[in-house]
Structure 1
């Protein structure tokens, strides 16, 4: 799984997140590439929720 897929799985709009907070986005992307997704989630759990509220991914119709 790559970082974009991870953000989408967490219902975070990657384009909006990167545009609004490029430094945090790059920091998270670099860390994600070095550790397992579950470890990343454990480390950033509360921050992920905050980011999700700001950059919620629109629900796609099936």
Structure 2
């Protein structure tokens, strides 16, 4: 699974996230590429909610 697809499943607008927070996006993408999606979700659970609120897919 690609990182952009994962963000889409979590209802996060990947393009907007990348444009407005490129450093955090890049750090998360690196981490995502090194672990399973389930592990990433567990590690970033509360942070994902904050990002989803900012960049919710409408």
Pairwise TM-score range, normalised by the shorter structure: over 0.9
Paired positions, count: 58
Scaled by the length of structure 2, the TM-score of the pair is 0.98
TM-aligned CA deviation for residue 17 of structure 1: 0.3
Instruction: Give the TM-score normalised by structure 1.
Output: 0.92
Say which one has the larger Rg.
1
- Cα distance per residue 1:1-58 (max 9 Å; x no partner): 1100000000000011001100000000000000000000000000000000000012
Indicate the residue corresponding to 1:18 in structure 2. Answer: 18
State the alpha-carbon separation in 2 of the partners of residues 15 and 2 from structure 1: 14
Runs of 4+ aligned residues of structure 1 deviating over 2 Å after TM superposition are none
Which structure shows the higher helix fraction? 2
Gaps of 5+ in 1: none
